[in-house]
Structure 1
Amino acid sequence: MSEHNRLVHFGIGAFHRGHQAYYLHLLNQQLPEAERWYYTDVNLREETRAIPEALGKQNGRFHFKRIAPDGNADYIEITSIDRVEDASSDPSIINTIFNDDAVKAITITVTEGGYYLTESDDLNLTHPEIAHDIQVVKSGNGKPKTLFGYLTLALLVRQKMPNGAITVATCDNLRDNGNRLEHAFAQFVEATGLDDLTQWISDNVTFPCSMVDRITPVPPKDLTEEIDRVVGKKDLCPIMGEDFEQWVIESKFAAEFPPLEKVGVTFTDKVHAFEETKIRILNGGHFGLSYVGALRGYKTYDENVRDDELNELLKQYHQREVIPTIYDHPFDLENYRQVIVLRFSNTFIADSIERIAMDSISKFPQFILPTIKLNLERGYVPTAAMTLVSHWYCFLALYLNGRFQFNYKDPYLHIAEKWMQESDPVKAFLADPDIWQGLNKRFPLFGEQLEAQIKQTLDGYQERYP
């Protein structure tokens, strides 16, 4: 049994270490030793083992270089993770981790694609990895490949405990993320036939919604040397990030939760207003402009903001199309927009366009489509959004046709490949129900205008990408 209350995290990445682990570290600095909380971090996938292995060698400790827009930096040694495990090599470790009364909650960062959702927000039960995990759970043998498989194993352990109630908090950029995870996970458990577990979850598990924010780019290769030089310590896996952070989480907990309000976390029953604002202004702006910048040859996002034409495009998108269609204001949206642009322009962060641009097919319905939909419903043609979408399509088309070289990663790339195999790829894109969710059928004139915009944009890149 653990001496301290514990959180478990699924999906060890830079964002988790610079966000949830960072907040917990700040909290521990304020608490007496006996009242502190610690993380057990769990790697779920074979292809992501390198960082957890390095982190494990350091007993979970690492340095976080926190950088302001003016370049001033702090070097913080994060000490809130004291156990690192790799479930992808040994799934039985899940039993050991969760058979512990001190474990009170799970936090999750597996990115949008890790939820395997369909256009109707149902779990894609036909996906090979989901189907594999269902069989793993049914048979009691094998290694899961997804969050759903590992979470089921964890909750089966908790079900047998007298005090097994637990909070499952997703910290990914999905609207209504807690409710969507709860819905999809219920479908997974139902598919495994674990009816008793379904009832136990209903009585003992909560899935609070949350909104999280901090830019944590892929660290430069020389950050390890910098930490050694400045701090005087060896660190195999340091991270870097901006000096802005935000965490808003729904006040819906199944068990004790760390008092993170002491370090600036917002507990509320109205997460939706915060997440809608952040996802559409920050993530939407990140998403849309990244493909324009990529096609212009830019490497980091701050180059987009320093391009006067792209800066103006982003401003028009925010002021004319996003902010007018956010109807519940948790704070001053124009001031928030200006803060976002300042963060985007941080040359010392130099967030890579390559990182931001990945996983676009699952991100588009989250980040951009709602803004287009709400503008069309108010009778306004979202011209800035159309420009961004046309560049996104061109990015995918030129990449898949071998005319544009880019280190692009997307588990749903096969969807775009199908568009390109059709006689008219643009029409295939505009007709894709998973992408557009019926919007073009409701507003056929918009579809025609966007089709023309895409073809015009493609023509504009003919010379640069022959």
Structure 2
Amino acid sequence: MSDHKRLVHFGIGAFHRGHQAYYLQLLNDTLPESDRWYYTDVNLRKETRVIPDALRAQNGQYHFKRIAPNGDAEYIKISSIDRVEDASADPSVIRRIFNDDKVKALTITVTEGGYYLNDNDDVNLSHPEVAHDVGVIQQQNGQPKTLYGFLALALIARQNMDGGAITVATCDNLRNNGNRLASAFGQFIEAAQLTTLKQWMATNVTFPCSMVDRITPVPPSTLSDEVKQQLGVDDACPILGEDFEQWVIEDQLANEFPALDTVGVTFTKNVHAFEEAKIRILNGGHFMLSYVGALRGYQTFDQNIHDDELNGWLKAYHQKDVIPTIDDRPFDLEAYRQIIISRFSNGYIADSIERIAMDSISKFPQFILPTVRLNLERGHFPVSAIILIAHWYCFLSLKIRGRIAFNYKDPYLSTAEMWMHQQDPVGAFLHEPDIWQGLNKQYPEFGESLKKQITITMDAYQERYR
């Protein structure tokens, strides 16, 4: 092991490499070698091995093309990841990685669906993969399949060493993400009967909330050739991202942490205000417009913004439904909205609608439902939201019936398939508890209005998708 202080990351994707690893690179560039921090990145699932394998072959190094809406670009060499491990092939590497007092924190990006939360924010212990991991941890034998199983192995290793206190920082787009992970993981270890681990965690592990932001689309296949042409170096796994970045972390750390505040990261006691604005304006806007764009045959999100009608719908949704329901404002929300529209219009990023649209079943309660609920509670009928939600339903309906060609990925697609196989599929959708959490029962007039809008929207696309 080296003498450098270390972070570990679960879930090696373009976002992590363009965000957490990028920030650590910025910090390292200001420090002498002896004071630098480095990442050990850990792949958790066998189906995501391709990039980690390529990254390992390059000793963790790669290039990040950071590009502005006007096309100005810089190519940044990232060397803050110096180890890449594959726990999906050998879970024993977790113990070796975490049994090291140089490791101070774990960061996580496994997407919203990777937390297996139900509508009560409890971990779904009946999910086959979660139930499998409970057995693996109870027996201390086998291959985990979820974040919870790997995290349990990591914290068991920390529990048995001196100086094992560790910060576990989720960086996924979940409201109150740190507290929700702490609660769900606590339920997991109770199910696995790890009483002593739970007691140890109470004073040795923190789960700070965080808010993260940067658009990092799937890199184009030509990016490696472009890096070769521009820099004269071979890179099998470069990434692409916008020139905007933001990371807000709750000031609740169990151990040393890199001084990322010196390179633009915000440490605060009130992450909620930042995440609420970001999730509801940016992520909600992404969600709402992606399915309209898919129905209109668009490939990239900037095409949505350059469609005047869609841009107008999004502006109305933001200004009439979202911003008026955000009370705790850490910055000027209208100015923030305009920045987001500029970012969305970045044709040089060309963020794919396919990427943004995935996992909608788990995203809707996070990104959209709070806005709808708050509007109804204040007596405002969210007309713009209704129009856009109707397009989401229409997209799912046409996709499940095989009438639209779209590479849609969602671990909970079976839920939508059940709606579509009912005699009244729209009614089944409107009564889905995991989606609406009782809202339609409380405000039946909302459900009736949405039902009518779904009929109008479906009729509008009948000719196109016969």
Q: TM-score range by the shorter chain?
A: over 0.9
Indicate the residue corresponding to 2:62 in structure 1.
Answer: 62
Residue type at the aligned position of 1:346: N
Question: Structure 1, residues 341-385: CA drift from partner, whole Å, max 9, x if none?
Answer: 000000000000000000000000000111000000010110110
2:256 is the alignment partner of 1:261: no
Indicate the residue corresponding to 1:454 in structure 2.
Answer: 454
Deviates more, 1:138-147 or 1:268-277: 138-147
Shift of 1:445: 0.5
Indicate the residue corresponding to 1:367 in structure 2.
Answer: 367
Question: Structure 1, residues 152-176: CA drift from partner, whole Å, max 9, x if none?
Answer: 0000000001100000000000000
Residue type at the aligned position of 1:206: T
Indicate the residue corresponding to 1:201 in structure 2.
Answer: 201
Matches within 5 A, 1:252-291: 252-291=252-291
Mapped partners of 2:231, 2:267: distance in 1: 35
Mapped partners of 2:125, 2:211: distance in 1: 27
Residue type at the aligned position of 1:128: P
Indicate the residue corresponding to 1:392 in structure 2.
Answer: 392
Residue type at the aligned position of 1:401: R
Question: Structure 1, residues 26-56: CA drift from partner, whole Å, max 9, x if none?
Answer: 0000111111100000000000000000000
Give identity over the alignment, percent.
71
2:28 is the alignment partner of 1:12: no
Indicate the residue corresponding to 1:190 in structure 2.
Answer: 190
2:143 is the alignment partner of 1:170: no
Question: Structure 1, residues 221-243: CA drift from partner, whole Å, max 9, x if none?
Answer: 00000000001110000000000
Residue type at the aligned position of 2:268: T
Question: Structure 1, residues 396-420: CA drift from partner, whole Å, max 9, x if none?
Answer: 0000001111000000000001101
Indicate the residue corresponding to 1:128 in structure 2.
Answer: 128
Indicate the residue corresponding to 1:423 in structure 2.
Answer: 423
Shift of 1:126: 0.1
| Runs of 4+, deviation exceeding 6 Å | none
Deviates more, 1:134-143 or 1:100-109: 134-143
Mapped partners of 2:314, 2:452: distance in 1: 21
Mapped partners of 2:461, 2:340: distance in 1: 29
SS of 1:30's equivalent in the other structure is: coil
Mapped partners of 1:117, 1:249: distance in 2: 22
2:41 is the alignment partner of 1:41: yes
Mapped partners of 2:303, 2:194: distance in 1: 51
Shift of 1:421: 1.0
For the Cα contact (< 8 Å) 1:430–1:447, is it kept in 2? yes
Indicate the residue corresponding to 1:144 in structure 2.
Answer: 144
2:153 is the alignment partner of 1:153: yes
Question: Structure 1, residues 164-190: CA drift from partner, whole Å, max 9, x if none?
Answer: 000000000000000000000000000
Question: Structure 1, residues 111-148: CA drift from partner, whole Å, max 9, x if none?
Answer: 00000000000000000000000011111111000000
Question: Structure 1, residues 193-238: CA drift from partner, whole Å, max 9, x if none?
Answer: 0100000011100000000000000000000000000011100000
Mapped partners of 2:194, 2:367: distance in 1: 35
Indicate the residue corresponding to 1:302 in structure 2.
Answer: 302
Unaligned runs of 5+ in 2: none
Indicate the residue corresponding to 1:211 in structure 2.
Answer: 211
SS of 2:29's equivalent in the other structure is: helix
Mapped partners of 1:48, 1:331: distance in 2: 37
Indicate the residue corresponding to 1:357 in structure 2.
Answer: 357
Indicate the residue corresponding to 1:104 in structure 2.
Answer: 104
Residue type at the aligned position of 2:22: Y
Mapped partners of 2:347, 2:22: distance in 1: 22
SS of 2:107's equivalent in the other structure is: strand
Residue type at the aligned position of 1:368: I
Matches within 5 A, 1:323-362: 323-362=323-362
Matches within 5 A, 1:63-102: 63-102=63-102
SS of 1:226's equivalent in the other structure is: helix
Count of residues in correspondence between the two structures: 466
Mapped partners of 2:201, 2:192: distance in 1: 14
For the Cα contact (< 8 Å) 1:210–1:250, is it kept in 2? yes
Residue type at the aligned position of 1:203: T
| TM-score relative to the length of structure 2 | 1.00
For the Cα contact (< 8 Å) 1:206–1:254, is it kept in 2? yes
For the Cα contact (< 8 Å) 1:67–1:349, is it kept in 2? yes
Residue type at the aligned position of 1:167: T
Mapped partners of 1:32, 1:7: distance in 2: 18
Shift of 1:2: 2.9
For the Cα contact (< 8 Å) 1:2–1:100, is it kept in 2? no
Indicate the residue corresponding to 1:465 in structure 2.
Answer: 465
Unaligned runs of 5+ in 1: none
Indicate the residue corresponding to 1:313 in structure 2.
Answer: 313
Deviates more, 1:134-143 or 1:294-303: 134-143
Indicate the residue corresponding to 1:438 in structure 2.
Answer: 438
Mapped partners of 1:336, 1:453: distance in 2: 30
Mapped partners of 1:409, 1:143: distance in 2: 24
Mapped partners of 2:392, 2:284: distance in 1: 12
Mapped partners of 1:190, 1:203: distance in 2: 17
Mapped partners of 2:393, 2:202: distance in 1: 42
Residue type at the aligned position of 2:139: S
Question: Structure 1, residues 416-452: CA drift from partner, whole Å, max 9, x if none?
Answer: 0110111000000000000000000110010101011
Mapped partners of 2:417, 2:66: distance in 1: 39
| TM-score relative to the length of structure 1 | 1.00
Residue type at the aligned position of 1:284: G
Shift of 1:290: 0.3
Mapped partners of 1:388, 1:301: distance in 2: 15
